[in-house]
Structures are given as C-alpha cells and as structure tokens.
Amino acid sequence: MDFKGSDTIPGPRTEDHLPQTAQAAVKIVIVGGFGVGKTTMVGSVSEIRPLTTEETMTQAGVGVDDNYGSESKTATTVAMDFGRISITDQLVLYLFGTPGQERFWFLWNGLFEGALGAVVLIDTRRLEVSFDVIGRLEERGVPFVVAVNSFPDAPRYPVEDLRSALDLADEIPIIECDARRRASSRDVLMTLMRFLHALATAKAPA
Amino acid sequence: MTPPQRRRRQQNRQPPPPPTPRTAQQGDEKAPERLYVVAGPDGERADIDLVTLIVARADPPPSATPEQTATLRLCAAPLSVAELSAYLNLPFSVMTVLLTEMLAAELVQARAPIVRQALPDRSLLEAVMHGLQRL
C-alpha cells in the first residue's frame, strides 16, 4: 500500500470514461482453477484494459493452511482481474476473475452475493481443480454455467461424460469456448444470461 | 479415457458466516496505522459493493487528504469502486472505508449496484443480453 500522491496516479483514459448517465452496474464472476483462462476471458470481452483490485485477508488461511501451532496469522493477498462492458448509457456490466487460490475469494465479502451469476471455466486436462469451486457455488446457491476452454492438447470428452463427471444437473449449460476470442467469450456470457432468464421465468408467478 | 468424478453439494440453508473483520489486533503487523490514516478512526462502513458507481459531488476541500483528492479527480465521471481500488492501488476494504468517510462528508455520491434478487428482474437480464449481442 504505497500511496504515491494524487498527481502520479494514472486514471482511466478519456475514452474509458463512463457517461454521466451511468446509473447502475451488475457483475458476473468468472471462476475456475489456476491457469484455466479466466483473465484471458475477461480481457477478450472487456472494453477497458483489464484492471486488478486486491484484498488482504488476515484470517483466511486459519484452519486451512498447514500452519497449526503458529500464533501469528498470515495475511493473504487475493488479486482479482476485472473488465467492463457498457450495456446501455445507464447500465454497466463488470466481469471479475481471479488467478488466486479459490478458497480465499469465497471469503471476499459481497463478491458472489450481489453477482447475477457465475461462469465456471474448466480445462479438461485438470478437471478436478474445478470441483471445489463448483461445490462452493452450489452451497451458496449462485447460478452458474460451465464453459470448457478448448486447449489444443486437452482431452475431449463428450458433453454428457463431462456432465456426469462434474455431477451437474441436466439444466446447467455446458459449452465449449475459446477464451481468447471475443465472440466465443461473448457466447459464454450469453449462455449464462439465457440460463438466468430461464430460471427467472420458471420462478416467476404465473 | 474416464475423467475424474465430482460429487454434487447441496445449497446451505444457513448463509455463510461473515468474514471476520480485520482489526489491528489480529496480527496485521504490516501497517495497521496506515488504515487509520487513510480512512479515519471510525470503524463504521457504508454499504459499498465492488460495482457501486462513485461520482464526485464537490471539489477537494483544503482539508482533503491526498487519497481523497485523487479519488475526487478519478471519479469526475462515474467510476466503480473496483476501478478506484485498482487505479489508487488500495485494497478494496481500505477503499470502502475511505469512501464511507467521503460519502458522510458529501464529497461523493454512490450509485448503488443492482444485486441479484431471489427473483431476478427479467427486463434487467434482457437488457444485459441485448447489450452483449452488440459486442
């Protein structure tokens, strides 16, 4: 936390300013294991160069890390990369993804509580690293879709094999994507939005 | 080839316990006094989300701290708390404390985020879908 004074801080580029009419923002969280392409996906659809925000957690590692017997609690910094998409002159969408250890960002107050939903990005070479993330979303009741980031050398499983391996309910969408491509990442977000819309329609009173 | 197998979890009926608030007593030996200097002695925080939009309401008063002056300069146009945190290189929790004080002093205005309700607003979802289609 080395504050440099107001004159030296770079702000948004002029073209990155939101209009004064911007009234409200919504957020989507992109989750998944380390190196699975979350930051790539954020960057491919964001209208601004992805930024990083941090949080320091002093309690997060207690009882989880192997620091039993140690009286001093370690401070863990969790960094989240995020991007932005202007939806209308009034409405802005933010996308958050993080390369950190998954167990920590569930302690980040409010990150998931206010989110519209989540994208679970998976790499079929290391499917098991996404198990804990998916379980935590289920426990929290956060609606999510699963996007398979298609790495060239990754094993390709039929969707139904993946659904079975991930133990996902039939209604949860599973789609392939290339997180480097804007159109492909946009399609993932659209799939999440259609899923959320279907959930809202199903829950709406007749 | 058979992929590894996960087991589904149930949604918790009880909300998860809130994270333990950080205080100077909890072993944050790096710079607890720095928090105090940036954000003032009052522990109360406004209800601020990562995507709450902040807009400047006033010019920096002569008494403004460098952090307040920088915040006001950055949010001449609306800017999310996450973006402020990134540009100012301040952790999110420090940013919320700083903004709480600035909201109380009426230096900035907060435009609240739309949070997910038990029943999401379909017109909101449709607006987002429409915006994404234009990407």
Distance between A70 CA and the closest CA of chain B, angstroms: 12
Q: What is the CATH number of the domain that holds A155?
A: 3.40.50.300
Q: Which of A174-178, B17-21, B39-43, B131-135 has the highest mean pLDDT?
A: A174-178
Three-state DSSP class for B110?
strand
Q: pLDDT tens, B21-68? A: 444 444 444 433 334 444 444 555 668 899 999 999 999 999 999 999
Q: Which residue on chain B is closest to A15 by alpha carbon?
A: B77
More confident residue, A99 or A49: A49
Domain that holds residue A178: 20-203
Question: Does the CB of A110 have a partner CB in chain B at under 8 Å?
Answer: yes
Distance between A158 CA and the closest CA of chain B, angstroms: 11
Query: Mean pLDDT, chain A, as a whole number?
Result: 85
Q: pLDDT tens, B80-89? A: 999 999 999 9
pLDDT at residue number A103: 63
Structural domain includes residue A5:
no
pLDDT at residue number A51: 95
Residues of B in contact with A183 (CB under 8 A): 135
Question: Does the CB of A70 have a partner CB in chain B at under 8 Å?
Answer: no
Name residues 152-171 of chain A within 8 A of B (Cβ): 155, 157, 161-162, 164-169
Structural domain includes residue A131:
yes
Structural domain includes residue A11:
no
Domains and CATH numbers, chain B: 38-114 (1.10.10)
Domain count, chain A: 1
Q: What is the DSSP string of B64-100?
A: --HHHHHHHHHTTS-EEHHHHHHHHT--HHHHHHHHH
Structural domain includes residue A1:
no
Structural domain includes residue A178:
yes
Mutate to test the interface with A, among B125, B133, B134 (most CBs of A within 10 A): B125
ipTM of the assembly? Answer: 0.86
Q: pLDDT tens, B68-119? A: 999 999 999 999 999 999 999 999 989 999 999 999 999 999 997 766 555 5
Structural domain includes residue A148:
yes
Distance between B124 CA and the closest CA of chain A, angstroms: 9
